[in-house]
Amino acid sequence: MKAGCSGGGCSSGCGSSGGNAAPRVVPEIDSEAINTGVPFDERRLNLGATPTKGTFVTFIDLDLTVECNLRCTYCFKEKWNEHMEERVAFDAVLWLLHASGPTKNVAVNFMGGEPLLRFRLIKKLVPFGKRRAWQLGKNIHFGMTTNGTLVTDEVVSFWKKWGMGFHTSIDGTPEVQDRNRPTTGGRGSSQLVEKSVPKVLQYRPHTTARSTVVPDSAATLVESYKYFRSLGYINVAFVPGGPSFWSPESIQAYEKELMGVCDLVMDEFRQGRFIYLKGIDDAIQGIIRDKRPNHACGAGRGLLLVDIHGDIWPCHRWNKDHHQSWRIGNIYQQFDDLVRAELDRPNHTDLLEQNCEICVANKFCAGGCPAENLEETGKVYKRHPNACELTRVWARAGQYVHDVLLKEGNATFMAHYYKDKNSQLN
């Protein structure tokens, strides 16, 4: 089910964790500390607070908490130590089952903060959602975006039992990870994540090592790639974050390093191993497909966020005080079709304020992350110039890999990208 940050060059992926000294026991939230905005007694799930027009909602991000055990240097979350009350979480699942209308397959992605801080709630919520979906003749899939620091054997067993998916974030070599993603106590988080990686890869070998790259780490991609491979990752994403922090020099360093990573990836192809490299893969798919996608992601269309208060937003990057005009509603109050209509359009690329016609990335770029655009330029359909330039780096690197391996007739490359064009490139 495509709905999340699949193609937006999204730099989200904030993490959390407890620090090297933190116990590996998953802490549970103190329910006394909960603040839901709407007084408890007044809250009644409003099944009328669902879309009356436009796309059915089939996927929600669910912020179980905004508490986090990491303090990533680039994190965009504004609040700390606030948590979703259990009842709101259960109601949000019921809300999705109704907001999805006749659609049979729906999905929930637990987010935060760090969602595994709410593992005890998750253990009740998933069986509840599965049972209620079954009663309504639907299928519901659960997943989570976690920083990987609280993944225990019990967590992995639970994932396996319920077929859950997950996204994990790891920024690079221990030095990079410790610098970018310190714990609340200011210590590094690399050791915590390293302990989780074997469990995670044993369950899902194709899990992506998802790295947020900032200018300070732009010159470390080759080393980080080697490190990820040594851990066993075969899917890797180096996603630049915070476009306004980049300079021409740091973008140049990013391109040089990414080209170095491409050379290493091509060597692996030559040895018969397929390595997925986010951005490069997007660019190659675009070259072969020769048709631009209409949307970067599903935000505000099939995908919405329900935050800790039950408020509804386009996705997990929008629920900020200064974005109040983008609040779509609340599961206990109302759903504003007009607010959502700004995003629920058949084509976003036609609305972009860039010169996409002459851009080398225009076969795969659909305008980047709309939420990031809003933060950087004040407009959903206008990108920061650095964001475009960083996307063009992906385009040039993808073209390089495509042309070299195509010329060589590399069997692994051809089998993956050209064997069955129709099925591979959708």
Q: Counting beta carbons within 10 angstroms of the beta carbon of residue 247, is it exposed (0 to 12), middle (13 to 18) or buried (19 or more)?
A: exposed
Distance CA 76, CA 369 (A): 14
Q: Which residue, 267 or 353, is less far from ligand SF4 as judged by CB?
A: 353
Contacts 24+ apart (CB under 8 A), 356-359: 359/388, 359/392, 359/395
What are the Cα distances from residue 297, in Å, to 1, 158, 243, 268, 293?
11, 28, 19, 30, 10
For residue 237, the minimal CB distance to ligand SF4 (Å) is 13
Per the CB < 8 A criterion, the answer to whether 386 and 244 are in contact is yes
| Minimal distance, residue 227 CB to ligand SF4, in Å | 26
Q: From CA 213, how far away is CA 338, in angstroms rounded?
A: 36
C-beta of 193 vs 361, nearer to ligand SF4:
361
Closer Cβ to ligand SF4, 269 or 313, answer by number: 313
State the nearest-atom distance from the C-beta of 340 to ligand SF4, in Å: 13
Nearer to ligand SF4, 183 or 354 (CB): 354
| Shortest Cβ 371–ligand SF4 spacing (Å) | 4
Q: How far apart are CA 391 and CA 3, in angstroms?
A: 21
Q: How far is the CB of 294 from ligand SF4 (least distance, A)?
A: 13
Of 68 and 192, which CB lies nearer to ligand SF4 in the complex structure?
68
Phi-psi region of 275 (alpha: psi -120 to 50; beta: other; left: phi over 0): beta
Nearer to ligand SF4, 365 or 405 (CB): 365
Among residues 122 and 361, whose Cβ is nearest to ligand SF4? 361
Least Cβ distance, residue 231 to ligand SF4 (angstroms): 25
* CA dihedral angle for residue 278, residue 313, residue 166, residue 3, rounded to 10 degrees: -50
Minimal distance in Å, beta carbon 392 to ligand SF4? 6
- Burial (CB count within 10 angstroms: exposed 0-12, middle 13-18, buried 19+), residue 204: middle
CB of 13 to ligand SF4, least distance (A): 9
Six token digits for residue 57 = 């909602």
- Give, in order, the Cα–Cα distances in Å from 382 to each of 157, 207, 361: 43, 31, 15
By beta-carbon distance, which residue lies closest to ligand SF4?
8
Q: Which is nearer to ligand SF4, 190 or 235 (CB)?
A: 235
Contacts (Cβ under 8 Å, ≥6 apart) of 310: 36, 37, 38, 43, 88, 91, 92, 330, 331, 332
- Which chain residues interact with ligand SF4 by CB under 6 A? 4-5, 8, 10, 12, 296-297, 299, 315, 317, 352, 354-356, 359, 361-362, 365, 367, 369-372, 383, 388, 391-392
Write b or e for each residue in 360-394: b if 16 or more Cβ atoms lie within 10 A of its Cβ, otherwise e. Answer: ebbbbbbbbbbbbbbbbbeebbbbbebbbbbbbbb
Q: What is the DSSP string of 167-218?
A: EEB--SSHHHHHHHS-BTTS---HHHHHHHHHHHHHH-TT-EEEEEE-GGGG
Q: DSSP class of residue 315?
A: S
Smallest gap, in angstroms, from Cβ of residue 387 to ligand SF4?
A: 7
Of 12 and 211, CB closest to ligand SF4: 12
Burial of 400 (0-12, 13-18, 19+ CB in 10 A): middle
Residue 12 or 212 having the CB closest to ligand SF4: 12
Q: Is 24 helix (H, G, I), strand (E, B) or coil?
A: coil
Q: Min. distance of Cβ 299 from ligand SF4 in angstroms? A: 4
Query: Least distance (Å) from ligand SF4 to the CB of residue 328?
Result: 13
Residue 41 or residue 290: which is nearer to ligand SF4 going by CB? 290
